[in-house]
Structure 1
Amino acid sequence: MQGGEGGSSSSSRLKRSLMERERRLNMKNLFAHLCSLLPPKPTKMTVLELVDEAREYVKQKQQRMEQLKQTKVQLENDYGCKVGKSIVITTRDSDSCLEVNLVVSADLKFELSKFLIVLEEEGAQVTSAMYHREGDRFICSIQSQAICSRIGIETSRVRERLEGLIS
């Protein structure tokens, strides 16, 4: 009977040893993957240094994301942009000129002619309109000037009406 117990004991020890080896190999692979996700470093790092580096990297990325969100809000406030998943409208006016920029997702259907009609109805004469495709979006720039420079163009009203076309 003792021989049977000894064999059972060594086989369970072997199982534990194999399981531990597998766990260590898995951890090594996970740390290697984590290391590949971080910016390259000139020196080899210990596991503790790698974890600290990953924590700092994630913290930096979170701070950068927060900065970008604040920049987006600031741009929306400063330039009157409407930022959505598929379209961005910005308007800038100086003196009697108005520039309207559109960035439109290629899968969104919109009629540029309707944008031009709104501008003309609001007292702007379109002087140029250009667009081009860049990846999965269209970028359009419309330049216009007030038909009557004394009256000018009500930029906020134009922007409101243009946004109404895409709502």
Structure 2
Amino acid sequence: MKRNETSSQNKLLRKTIEKNRRIRMKALCYKLVSIIPDCHFSQPKELLSHPDQIDEASAYIKMMRERIEELNRRKTQLISSYVARTGDGDGGWPKYPILTVKELGSGVEVMLISGLNKNFMLSQVISVIEQEAAQVLSINISRVGERIIHTIHAQVKISRVGVDTSRISDRIQEIISSNM
């Protein structure tokens, strides 16, 4: 009798564990699909089966990984060519911070190049970007010689409205000049 109860309890326990695993997997799949922009799906998300949604998400992730690698290669190439044009790698750099703000489709790239001794509050720069209706996606900080390169990628929150890059640039310039 006890053996039968133990067996049924084990079955029930395994069943419950499997049910919880399926619920957790369903939630994770939903979360994965929800963070992929709608424009990257061949059909509306609702019409695709779960495996098709995961395939689309996987393809999007691969595409983004390739794009990031290409942008990093391009960045390295641009830095190398600039260093080659200016000489020893630091002597040709201006003594003031360099700021560029570019609109990239529905995103924004902010690149700030400064010297090691030119400090500013990165959190203030991030605040400006977020106040201007953009959500920061990634920040890359690298050192080249005696310079620090901050590259911030942000996504526009409301793509219909867009973002005013000149306003972002002006506000960040104010922050830089107040800290120098």
TM superposition score normalised by structure 2: 0.45
TM superposition score normalised by structure 1: 0.49
Looking at CA atoms only, which structure, 1 or 2, has the larger radius of gyration?
Answer: 1
